[in-house]
Amino acid sequence: MNHSSLHRPLVRALFTVAIFGLPTLAQTPTITSTFDTDNEGWEIVNMALYSHKPAYVGIPTIWSTAGNPGGCLEVFDNYYFTGISAPASWLGDRQAYFGGSIDFDLKEWETTASWVQPGAALVSTNHTLYYPTPVPPPDQWVSQSFSITPGAWRFDDSTGLVATQSQMLEVLSDLQAIWIATEWRSGTDDTFVDNIALVPPAHGSVAIYGSGLNPTGSLTVLSGNAQLGTVLTLGVDNPLGTQAAGSLSFVAVSVGTAPGFPIGIPLSGYGMAAPGSVGELLIHAGTLVVPIQLGAPWTGPGQPAPVVLHIPALPGLAGLTLYAQGALLDTAASWIGLTEAAMLVLGS
Ligand SMILES: [Ca+2]
Ligand SMILES: [Ca+2]
């Protein structure tokens, strides 16, 4: 097999002329429940703490007039670890909320403990993300805002490892439940919840993803964000140092991902490990909006080559999600090595 046949599928994909309209733009509104007249479909559930448990049907919450202001939910101590669960209209593919937040106001009667427990959980078919937070002060409305970015969220166990960006995207792309804890006392609970909101990233967000097949650190954000009218600079690197200095760097941008997001398609001959090794195609080659954005020549491992993306200043693009993947072309070896990919949520 010669090099040109090895490279044909990706080269064909990358040179696909992007003559197609943008898809129907996915709107990314702030989703809210203020409980003005009823419980808006929220249910009471027994939250799992130390292992993933699929979402299940709970019992309806009680509607109260003691809100902040107006109506709110009132939740007693129904289960071992009582929480409330969002209605189905909040769920599904919520990738575009990466970089946003889950917000709510909570008032608990006579909290006295000082432990840390999950304040909320995001549940997909196969995994759960937990956000540990301290017990709130008693008898007052406390406004919580849990940023949907890596750092605090734990993966599949509230005391477990910090979730990676890929793990967070996997859960967000298949959101089956949102749980908010209402159990903050070892005795009986009487908890009020109001003003729950799922908030998209105000100024856009960028998340790196991949299965780990393409080297960690092969695609990074050098500067900027996915904000309309600004410049985002991605860095393309071969951390393994297997390709020659001077290799050409480039990035392709698509409106879709490879099937299996955030995992991609193994592609023989496109790995960075060695010529002919397997790489991972992480974006959808059939829906490229930027077939090739050339960057600076790559100078060596640990020195990512900058690739500049100008984010159009078109307000209608706010909330659109795009996917970028980088590559290095070692011309002497006729070898393309693929990087990790980045999900770009465009923000205003
Ligand atoms: Ca209210
Ligand atoms: Ca309790």
Rounded to the nearest whole angstrom, what is the distance from the C-alpha of residue 114 to the centroid of ligand 2? 14
* Per-residue pLDDT reduced to its tens digit, 20-71: 344 445 568 899 999 999 999 999 999 999 999 988 778 999 999 999 999 9
Rounded to the nearest whole angstrom, what is the distance from the C-alpha of residue 213 to the centroid of ligand 1? 47
- What is residue 299's DSSP assignment? -
The total of structural domains in the chain comes to 2
Cα torsion for 253, 259, 264, 270, to the nearest 10°?
A: -70
Helix or strand or coil: residue 142? strand
Residue 187 reports pLDDT greater than 90: no
List of residues 6+ apart from 162 with CB closer than 8 A? 150, 151, 152, 153, 154, 155
Shared domain for 171 and 273, answered yes or no, is no
* Per-residue pLDDT reduced to its tens digit, 77-118: 999 999 999 999 999 999 999 999 999 999 998 877 788 999
* Per-residue pLDDT reduced to its tens digit, 209-242: 999 999 999 999 999 999 999 999 999 999 999 9
Shared domain for 225 and 166, answered yes or no, is no
**Helix or strand run (H / E) with residue 105:** strand 101-108
- Considering 156, 182, 199, which residue would you say is the last residue of a domain? 199
Backbone angles phi, psi at 272, to 5 degrees: -90, -15
Shared domain for 176 and 230, answered yes or no, is no
Shared domain for 10 and 40, answered yes or no, is no
Task: Give the domain extent around 263.
Answer: 3-27+203-345
Helix or strand or coil: residue 40? coil
Which residue type occupies 82? T
Beta bridge partners of 133: 117
Helix or strand or coil: residue 145? strand
Rounded to the nearest whole angstrom, what is the distance from the C-alpha of residue 184 to the centroid of ligand 2? 6
Distance CA 53, CA 128 (A): 8
